[in-house]
Amino acid sequence: MIADKKYSLTVELKDDSKQTSTGAIGLATYSDSPSTVLSYASIFESLWTQTELYQKLKELNKLKDEFVNIAAHELRTPIQPILGLAEILRSKLKDGEEEKEYVNVIIRNAKRLQRLTEDILDVTRIESNSLGLKKELFNLSEMISSAVSDYNNQAAEEHKDTNIKLEFVDSKEAIFIEADKGRISQVISNFLNNAIKLTNEGTVSVAAEVSNNNNEIVVSVSDTGSGIDSQILPRLFTKFATKSDSGTGLGLYISKSIIEAHGGRIWGKSNYPEGKGATFAFSLPLDRADS
């Protein structure tokens, strides 16, 4: 206690389980020494200032989150008609026409803006602990096979200057799992996107298998690209961890949150010295699934 910056009283709390103050407190020190009193006063003022700054910071963070959320939602509205109408326009143009290439540029950039918008919204949900999961029983092998087929078509359309082949190492056995199908698909798509961006030539291979001890499902995506930058590796699954001009560095952060929300693990590594490229993988516990 400080009184008028002239007097101070410090009381030792000895046992806060006691019912009386005399039993709870220990030594007490009273001082009217200016140096002692001002020292205590300085400590209290510092703590008070820190508390006020912390409250202001919380308010600013709340305003920032609200602004980002509103901005991302507002961006969603014009993106859909841009994509939809551009797709219709492209379907009316013949291959080889210069105008078709212009439309392709519009569609690619609109899709990029759409992914950015969804990523921002997902980060907002993660940081506000509102990333909900809608679990259902589905065939994981079938979903991966469809994703690989789609990305093969995308690579042929959007990466004509590269020689990439995507393949699914199918175990020929259906793997059924109870999880949020959309979110797991999002993680696999993120892995495939990264692999395609970093691979100019070679193979992107996807595998799904039940572990030897039969308690988890492991999905991995390996490529023959440039591998993981050594400066990025220590903060691989944090926000904005990227050196790419075409990415935000949010995808792996979101993927990590999705997999951990399912009770699983996620990791990534360069394939050196055994081979070229990188491997990203995640596991989901089989006690939440039925195979």
Q: What is the pLDDT of residues 110-132, one digit of tens each?
A: 988 888 888 888 888 888 888 88
| Strands 176-180, 216-222: pairing kind | unpaired
The alpha helices in 172-241, defined as continuous H runs, are 181-197
CA 174 vs CA 43, 142, 167, 270: distances in Å = 65, 7, 17, 29
> Which domain-ending residue is among 127, 143, 170?
127
Half-sphere exposure of 169 (CA within 13 A, CB side): 12
Model confidence over 255-281: pLDDT tens digits?
Answer: 999 999 999 999 999 887 777 899 999
99 and 199 co-located in one domain? no
Report residue 2's pLDDT band, with 50, 70 and 90 as the boundaries: confident
CATH number, position 220:
3.30.565.10
The alpha helices in the chain, defined as continuous H runs, are 21-24, 34-91, 98-127, 140-158, 181-197, 251-261
- φ and ψ at residue 26, rounded to 5 degrees: -115, -125
> Which domain-ending residue is among 76, 100, 127?
127
239 and 187 co-located in one domain? yes
188 and 76 co-located in one domain? no
- The segment with the largest mean pLDDT, out of 60-69, 81-90, 228-237, is 81-90
156 and 113 co-located in one domain? no
Range(s) of the domain holding residue 115: 55-127
* Mean pLDDT, all residues of the chain: 86
> Which domain-ending residue is among 127, 158, 189?
127
Site of tokens 């308010």? 59
Res 36 pLDDT > 90: no
Tell whether 49 is covered by a domain. no
228 and 149 co-located in one domain? yes
pLDDT at 246: 59
Report residue 289's pLDDT band, with 50, 70 and 90 as the boundaries: very low
Site of tokens 């199908």? 181
151 and 257 co-located in one domain? yes
